[in-house]
Structures are given as structure tokens and as C-alpha cells.
Amino acid sequence: MVQHVKLARERRKRKSRIKALIFFVALLCLVTGGVLTLKNTAEHTQFTAIDGTHDSQYQALTPTSSEQEATSYDDELLGQDDEVDQVDLNEYDKLPEEAQNAVDDLLAAADQAKRISDQFSYTVVRGDKLKDVLEMSGLEDETSQILIASYPELKNLKAGQQIYWMLDNQNELEYLNWLVSEKEERIYELKEKGKFARQIIEKKSIWKKDVLKGKIEGSLRASLHKLGLDNRQINQLSTALQWQVNISKLAKGDNFAVLVTREYLEDKLTGQGNVDAIHITHNGTSYYAIQADNGRYYNRQGETIGKGFARTPLQRQARISSPFNPARRHPVTGRVRPHKGVDFAVPIGTPVILPADGVVEKVAYQAGGAGRYIVVRHSRVYQTVYMHLSKPLVKAGQSLKRGERIALSGNTGISTGAHLHYEFHINGRAVNPMTVKLPGTNSGMADKERKNFLVKAKSAERLLSLKN
Ligand SMILES: [Zn+2]
């Protein structure tokens, strides 16, 4: 008996050590994440340490004549804006998806770690009494006496049965789950001091489709959380919806309905489930994200990410007057001035066409650099930037479709001739717009898959009707 108590104490000590370790690891992850983010930003902003070997390559690409090409050596966004119209898209949504998932996982792990600390499990061996089992967590005989007084079946534990139990903050038994057999479990839950309620569960899980309806309160994320969706599911839905509607603009009172398939054990949710579809109404328009057999989400028509990205933001092909080049040197100063975009030689007033659905993040003016410029966000991951414009045709916060005119090109800011400077960013880093693998272009479904999807979409639409 004394040994039992000793064992229990040692177990607790070990548990608190594990708890401390998990906390430390979580902290370490957070710090590492932060450092990586900083490093990313640093790489992005100071691309100066590049050896001269690229230079000769650059020379080959650039006309050596004294005649200046339409381009700019001052098209970095680091300078001061002289005018700015900007929306702050939700900070959380701005995090790269991986970072978001890391944070979500961390929170889940921390939550789990906290629960594990007061959770015990044991497999009954021959001759064990309930008091022997509970003693492992340092509980006195009294607890088992109270339980057995109300539920005498607990006198007859059998070898091989499993018992899980949890203690509350006062180290009192709060919950005990006795797996009587594969088909049956009995749960005893503390209701008030000295009183336990029993629940007998015939284990037979079923999967049911449920429609959950709600109104936006706070953010979409918070509202979906309230309905019991987990972070992974919410991220999937946000990604699927943000191509269609500006999620940060969804307003209090906007209606939504979610179709879920969830596992039930008797009447209790097991926590296993899948989100099949969501329907949101905003300003009288319906938006859907519906899951296809391939696991991805599409709108009602089976489209995803709009119709993908166009290669350039122009109606017609235009000559490239200066290519993407992280090692470009200024012809006069000789200093490395990375060219983070591509310059199209187009006459002033050429329409600039949005290459993919997105939300205008910023419309600004920098006299000593980029001139009039626009930043558009296409998802958590992608942004495009347009510089030296003569006339913006959009405002920050505006939700736009692929193909819409956003501006007229120009020669504003510091520029050596009429051109459009175009940048493509992935997670905040500029990549070559002419060679980047464009997102969304391979997301189409095969004919048969698409047929199945459209049937599914029809039924989802019916189930998720928001008309009263
Ligand atoms: Zn440029």
C-alpha cells in the first residue's frame, strides 16, 4: 500500500517533468518560428550580398547602348509613401499557411498537454479492486467507496478491462471511463461533491450529415469555431472562399450554413468529422465552397481559385524592357538594385488587368520611387504589385475578379520611360512573374469527377438553403 502511494507520487513527479518539457519545446518552437519569420523579412528587404558573377549574365541581357530602356531603378516599396490608401487584412489571415498551421498545432498540443497531466489510464490485472486502481493517482479509498455504494458493478473489475480517469483542479476524481467490453463502456462523472452520474454507452458509432447554421459575429473564423469546426477545417474553408469573397468584409449578421459529416457514439460527437460544404450570403450574393471527391473545395460551378492566374496583367503581349533580376546593378552607381519584378514597355494609359481574383490591399503614391502603385492580395499566400501607374481605378478593400481593370499604366515616380512594373509575391517574397508556377491552373477536375461534383453541389445547395 505504502509502495502504491510512493509509485503514484513518482508518477506525478514524472508527469510534471514531462509537462515542463512540453512547455519548453512549445516555447522553443515559437521562438524558432519568430526568428525564421524575421529572417525571411530580412532576406526580402536586403538582397544586397550577391557576388559579382551574375553581373556578366546581366550585361548579356541588357542592351549596352546608351539609349535608356523604359525601366526604373527605384521601384522598391521600402521608401516612404506620399499618399496611401490601405486596408489591413486580418493579421492572422496574413500569416503564411504553414505558420498558421504551426501555431494551430502548437495551441492544440499545449491544450492536450494540459489535459494529459491529470489523466490516467490503467489496464486491470487479476485481483485489482477499484481502490487499487484509483490509488495510482493518489486518490483515497473514500472515492471508490462512494462510487461502489451507488454503482455496485464496480466491485467486479475483470482482468484486461481498461479504465481511464481524470482528476479536477482539486485532485478529486472528475471523470471515470470503464471500458467493460469492446461493445460497452460506462462513464461516471462527478456531478456534485460525493455524487457521480453514470452513463452506459453501447459502442456503435454512426456517421451523420448535419447542417449547422449561424450568423457572422466577429470574424468568420470565430463564428465557425463557435460551431465546433477545428482550425484545419476553418483554414480549408477560408482558402476556398477567399477567391470569391473578401472574407474580412463579411459583416455581422451575414448568414451562413455548413454541411458536416460527423461521427456519433450514441448521441455524443466523437470529434471526428468532415466539412462537406459551406454557404455564405453577403450583400445578397451567395458564396459556396463545396468539397469534391478529391478533397479540394470548389465553388458551385466546380471552379477553384477563380480560373487561375493569367501570366501577365495585360490584354496583349508586351515587350519586356527589363526582366526580373535580383542581381541587377544600377548603370550609374554600379550598386546592386535588385529588380523584383518585370517591366513591360507599354504606352501610358494601357489598361492593367487583374490576373486573378483578389482584394486590393493598397493604393499609394511614392514620388521618389514606385510612383502610383497598387498591391493586390489573392490569398493568404499570393500578392501582386503594379507600379508607375498613371491612374488607379480601384480603392483599397475592393474585391475584384480576374480580368477587371485596376489601373492605367503610366510613367510616375522615378522611371526612365513609360512602362508597367509588375511583381508577383509568394508569402511576401518576390519571384519571377514570367517563370513562376502559376497557382490554380491545374486544379480542374476530370469530366467524370466533375459530373459527380455537380450532383454533390446541387444537393449541398438544397441542404444549405438560407431562405427563411
Ligand atoms: Zn521595374
What pLDDT is attached to residue 183? Answer: 67
What pLDDT is attached to residue 61? Answer: 36
How many whole angstroms from 357 Cα to the centroid of ligand 1?
Answer: 23
C-alpha cell at 355: 490576373
How many whole angstroms from 328 Cα to the centroid of ligand 1?
Answer: 11
How many whole angstroms from 93 Cα to the centroid of ligand 1?
Answer: 29
How many whole angstroms from 44 Cα to the centroid of ligand 1?
Answer: 16
Q: Where are the alpha helices (DSSP H) in 50-159?
A: 53-61, 91-94, 97-116, 130-135, 141-150
User: What one-letter code names the amino acid at 69?
Assistant: E
How many whole angstroms from 61 Cα to the centroid of ligand 1?
Answer: 15
The fold for domain 119-167+172-202 equals Nuclear Transport Factor 2; Chain: A, (3.10.450)
How many whole angstroms from 421 Cα to the centroid of ligand 1?
Answer: 4
How many whole angstroms from 343 Cα to the centroid of ligand 1?
Answer: 5
| pTM greater than 0.75 | no
Gap between the Cα atoms of 205 and 160, Å rounded: 23
How many whole angstroms from 322 Cα to the centroid of ligand 1?
Answer: 7
Q: Quick check: helix, strand or coil at residue 142?
A: helix
Cell 490601405 belongs to residue: 86
How many whole angstroms from 455 Cα to the centroid of ligand 1?
Answer: 47
How many whole angstroms from 363 Cα to the centroid of ligand 1?
Answer: 17
How many whole angstroms from 68 Cα to the centroid of ligand 1?
Answer: 13
Residue pair 413/388 in contact (Cβ under 8 Å)? The answer is yes
What pLDDT is attached to residue 39? Answer: 44
Gap between the Cα atoms of 419 and 125, Å rounded: 81
The domain ranges of the chain are 119-167+172-202, 206-308+457-463
How many whole angstroms from 89 Cα to the centroid of ligand 1?
Answer: 26
What pLDDT is attached to residue 391? Answer: 96
How many whole angstroms from 94 Cα to the centroid of ligand 1?
Answer: 25
Q: What pLDDT tens digit does each residue of the chain (468 aa) get?
A: 444 545 555 555 555 565 555 566 555 655 555 554 444 443 333 333 333 333 333 333 333 333 457 888 878 777 788 888 887 765 545 555 555 566 555 555 554 444 445 778 787 877 889 998 888 788 888 999 999 999 999 999 988 788 888 888 788 899 999 988 766 889 999 999 889 999 998 777 788 899 999 999 888 889 999 988 888 788 778 877 876 777 777 888 899 999 998 888 777 887 778 889 999 998 888 889 898 887 778 888 787 655 578 888 998 878 999 999 988 888 788 888 899 999 999 999 999 999 988 899 999 999 988 999 999 998 778 899 999 999 999 999 998 888 889 999 999 998 889 999 999 998 889 999 988 877 765 556 777 888 888 999 999 999 999 875
How many whole angstroms from 307 Cα to the centroid of ligand 1?
Answer: 27
Q: Do strands 297-298 and 285-291 pair parallel, antiparallel, or not at all (unpaired)?
A: antiparallel
Do 119-167+172-202 and 206-308+457-463 agree at the fold level?
yes
How many whole angstroms from 243 Cα to the centroid of ligand 1?
Answer: 27
Q: Quick check: helix, strand or coil at residue 396?
A: coil
What pLDDT is attached to residue 201? Answer: 83
Distances (CA, A) of 422 to 18, 40, 73, 81, 110: 52, 21, 14, 18, 43
Q: Which residues, at least 6 apart from 245, have a Cβ–Cβ distance to it below 8 Å?
A: 280, 282, 285, 287, 399
How many whole angstroms from 422 Cα to the centroid of ligand 1?
Answer: 7
What pLDDT is attached to residue 350? Answer: 94
How many whole angstroms from 42 Cα to the centroid of ligand 1?
Answer: 21
What's the CATH class of domain 206-308+457-463?
alpha beta
How many whole angstroms from 262 Cα to the centroid of ligand 1?
Answer: 52
Residue pair 25/109 in contact (Cβ under 8 Å)? The answer is no
User: What one-letter code names the amino acid at 145?
Assistant: Q
Gap between the Cα atoms of 300 and 297, Å rounded: 10
What pLDDT is attached to residue 161? Answer: 83
How many whole angstroms from 348 Cα to the centroid of ligand 1?
Answer: 15
How many whole angstroms from 361 Cα to the centroid of ligand 1?
Answer: 20
How many whole angstroms from 75 Cα to the centroid of ligand 1?
Answer: 6
